[in-house]
Amino acid sequence: MNATSTAAAPATATATAKAPLVELRDAEKRYGNIIALRDVSLQVASGEVMCVLGDNGAGKSTLIKIIAGLHQHTAGEYLVEGEPVKFNSPREALNRGIATVYQDLAVAPLMPVWRNFFLGSEQTKGWGPFQRLDVDFMRKTAKQELLDMGIDLRDVDQPIGTLSGGERQCVAIARAVYFGAKVLILDEPTAALGVKQSGVVLRYIIQARDRGLGVIFITHNPHHAYPVGDRFLLLKRGQSIGYHEKSAISLEELTGLMAGGAELEQLVHELRDVGTSTDAVRTIRDEIEGDAAAGVGRVQVTEAVTVVPGEYAEDEDDDGEDAPGRSRR
């Protein structure tokens, strides 16, 4: 597998009859003199998960901001369903069906789940002075939509702050699906979660994909990306260092690229040059490679979560959050 040989060829990656939902061609973003993103290409079609991997400062946020309409690219092309676009605001992107779920979800923690589900898009009934919130409709719809995504909340009146981080992410995903998103951008949805909660979120990514959405999944964890991704774009210092179909790369190779195999070699040489003993160098190398191979958290995408008001889940949770009313089935 040669990372660089595939890096420049995403346009031929998948021959879809229809234009991709979202496509970047050699996109560049400059902030004054700083080039945050250079010659980056990707595409995502309906029913596909495109994973964007990269460490801190790789350009992931910049990429999201361009696609989500927060910033405009300074060179290259951005196409939505084959049409070149330059969005002036996230609202314009949303109007084209591009929804972003940010890591720090904008929720009102003390408000009920159903209220958060409809936040900013509240349904009303009646006319003129008799107009009021259609609470029944919003409650029932939120419950049903969450159920359809596999989140069984007995009580959608519970404050959203009582759900776990993973469940809140899932509510945000279900909400975007309900409001007609065609493309879902997920900004490191598993970054702050433990293994089990990450598994729950990955399951919803698969569900969104199976419903025909195109998903752009931003992560720095190859062990989260690999089980759900159809394609992988690796970013480093604002540039693509690889663009791979799943069939063309193994988890180990993806992990190796993320761990920066070449950089590890460089580090080993540097340590030797400054007189570090061979044993110490070997220990350091083993530790780094061991960490990469172990991953930050291997995930089994099998878990279902039921939320029961008033109950506390046993201490199964590894994300450090107390989540009242949760039990597993």
Note the residues at the interface with ligand ATP (CB under 6 A): 31, 34, 36, 54, 56-62, 238
Token pair of 129 as six digits = 């002075």
For ligand ATP, the closer of residues 25 and 237 by Cβ is 237
* Least distance (Å) between residue 99 CB and ligand ATP: 19
Contact between 117 and 145 under an 8 Å Cβ cutoff? The reply is: yes
For ligand ATP, the closer of residues 31 and 312 by Cβ is 31
For ligand ATP, the closer of residues 61 and 255 by Cβ is 61
Q: What is residue 71's three-state secondary structure?
A: coil
For ligand ATP, the closer of residues 2 and 56 by Cβ is 56
For ligand ATP, the closer of residues 150 and 297 by Cβ is 297
Q: How far apart are CA 160 and CA 199, in angstroms?
A: 20
Q: Which amino acid is at 55?
A: D
Identify any residues that bridge with 239 across adjacent strands, giving them in sequence order: 38, 236
CA angle 257, 262, 266 (to 5 degrees): 145
Contact between 41 and 243 under an 8 Å Cβ cutoff? The reply is: yes
* Least distance (Å) between residue 73 CB and ligand ATP: 13
* Least distance (Å) between residue 71 CB and ligand ATP: 8
* Least distance (Å) between residue 50 CB and ligand ATP: 16
* Least distance (Å) between residue 43 CB and ligand ATP: 20
Element counts in the chain: helices (H) and strands (E): 11, 15
For ligand ATP, the closer of residues 70 and 206 by Cβ is 70
Distances (CA, A) of 306 to 11, 166, 228, 240, 309: 42, 13, 22, 40, 10
* Least distance (Å) between residue 52 CB and ligand ATP: 9
324-328: strand order across its sheet: 152-153, 305-312, 324-328
